[in-house]
Chain A
Amino acid sequence: MKLLAIHWALIGIWALLTLASIVVFVVSKRSSKDMSELVQRTQSWWVMVAIFTVAFLVSQTISIIVFALISFLALKEYFSMIPTRRADRRVLFWAYLSIPVQYFWVYDHYYGMFAVFIPVYMFLFLPFASLLSQQTDGFLKSVGTLNWGLMLCVFSISHAAFLLILPATPESSAGGAGLLLFLIFLTQFNDVAQYTWGKLFGRRKIIPGVSPNKTWEGFLGGVATTFVLAMLIAPLVTPLDLAHAAAAGLLIAIAGFVGDVTVSALKRDLGVKDTGSLIPGHGGILDRIDSLTFTAPLFFHFIRYFYY
């Protein structure tokens, strides 16, 4: 079997994870502080990278299903932590049902419907479904929060899956798979880079009212790291030229930060620390994909505008 660029990229991710695990192991052995959360977090990374790699290598359809499952878990987490109305049980049910439908459009390569199904049809349908219960107390809040969750957890995330079905181009044989790998890797690496720069050099708080642990040093260090990495990786797995790769790096780094603090604002409003407890060391699934909810649609339209 001939190894393609995409395989080398996956091998690179595993190598990086191995290296990171060794560093974490050594640091946790030497440090007198309790590092169990960091160790747990690293272990969870192995599981997530493994799931992603398997889905990626087996088939495109499996990968689409995995993203649909991620949307389902994220939406379930969202609905479980926000105030909901008894009268809206049926509405929540419809919202869940929109997940297989939305991902079917991805599978079907039906871009026109994919782009409007949630922001137009579900947007109009959910309030209608809600008013059928004839309980108007809290109606506005309910349709507002339900639609927002659907946009965040289903519509946004489905853009990552849609990247996958973009065809190969003359500039890049890796096609959609390469673009998806580029997006996911940079988004997640950006999170880790911002966290690490912040831990090492963080002094000046960037937005203390929302996220007291985020600093300017972490943010700028992360942006710079992602910016450089984007330019290094882009020629391997994407059709992006150097200027576009640089722009994509900045876009992912900044949008990722905004996605992260947006979910932080939501958590602060609800008075919870984590969105759930699904991923040991990380919190809930929304804690892990918060950046992706912003980077996926933005990067998708960036690519679509310039290359497809």
Chain B
Amino acid sequence: MLQKAFYSFVKIAVLFLLGLNVRRKDLLPSKGPAIIVANHNSHLDTMVLMALMPLSRLKDIKPVAAADYFFSSPRKAWLSEHVLGIIPVERTSADKSVDPLEGCYEALAQDRVLILFPEGSRGKPEQMTDLKKGVSYLAERFPDAPVVPVFTHGLGKALPKGSFMLVPFFCDIFVGEPITWPGNRTQFMDSLKERFSQLSSEKNFASWE
């Protein structure tokens, strides 16, 4: 309920303040288990991807985010879990006996759709960094779940890391063809990287120095 109200508001704000140019929206998974993989530039990334989904399906869509950031205080943790619907992942875990991806496995087993940012951090806006391999473990465990790459541009300009002032920009959201499990993790990561480099070269983006 709270989540629906929050994301209705987000939807309106995203449409009015930002404005999205979405290519191939129909490729977004309509049912789980599935994994949406996106590049990460801004807190807006999750908001926008959630805003693209129909409100009725929000409870089955789970952004995966860093526990050390989103669950750092009880209040933040409550908001992250109940309003944003986040699944926490430990980025730096001392305890090696617990698999940090356990929450993700569980959600996929329950036919949920995960939203994952394998860059690990928002980093410098509008610059992609190396992809972390976590996602390949998920794909290996659930080889039938489609992995859908989504490349976004402009959100890091609108709200970069370290800023609280939202400046309106039109943003591009390019959805790519889903990747099916190729048989091993290295091959999987390679095709994911390949897919992202294709999507990011679909348009000449205005420079932002």
Contact = CB atoms under 8 A, between A and B. Distances in A.
A136 interface: no
Contacts of B165: 89-90, 93
Interface in A169-192: none
Contacts of A86: 125, 160, 208-209
A271 to B, nearest CB: 6
Contacts of B169: 76, 79-80
B167 A96 contact: yes
Most buried by B among A79, A86, A96: A86
B12 to A, nearest CB: 14
Interface in A81-110: 81-86, 89-90, 92-93, 96
Interface in A54-97: 72-73, 76-77, 79-86, 89-90, 92-93, 96
A271 B19 contact: no
Contacts of A89: 157, 160, 163, 165, 167
A179 to B, nearest CB: 30
Contacts of A277: 21
B97 interface: no
Contacts of A76: 19, 168-170
Given A89-B167, A92-B167, A276-B170, A84 B21 contact: no
A85 B167 contact: no
B154 interface: yes
Most buried by B among A82, A84, A89, A96: A89
Contacts of B207: 83
B206 interface: yes
A276 B206 contact: no
Contact of A80 (B163, B206, B209): B206
Contacts of A27: none
Given A84-B157, A85-B209, A138-B209, A272 B204 contact: yes
B interface bracket (residues with beta carbon within 8 Å of A)? 10 to 19
A93 B167 contact: yes
Nearest to A90: B165
Most buried by B among A79, A80, A83, A137: A80
A278 interface: yes
| A contact face: mostly helix, strand, loop, or mixed | helix
A interface bracket (residues with beta carbon within 8 Å of B)? 20 to 34
B25 to A, nearest CB: 12
Contacts of A272: 204
Interface in B139-197: 154, 157, 160, 163, 165, 167-171
A67 to B, nearest CB: 16
A80 B154 contact: yes
Interface string A117-148: 00000000000000000000110000000000
A270 interface: yes
Nearest to B204: A271
A249 B167 CA distance: 39
Contacts of B163: 89
Contacts of A138: 209
A137 B206 CA distance: 17
12 contacts: A80-B171, A81-B206, A83-B207, A84-B208, A89-B163, A89-B167, A90-B165, A96-B167, A96-B168, A270-B206, A276-B170, A278-B19
Given A83-B206, A271-B204, 12 more contacts: A79-B169, A80-B169, A80-B170, A81-B206, A85-B208, A85-B209, A89-B157, A89-B160, A93-B165, A270-B206, A276-B170, A278-B19
Interface of B: 19, 21, 125, 154, 157, 160, 163, 165, 167-171, 204, 206-209
Interface of A: 72-73, 76-77, 79-86, 89-90, 92-93, 96, 137-138, 270-272, 276-278
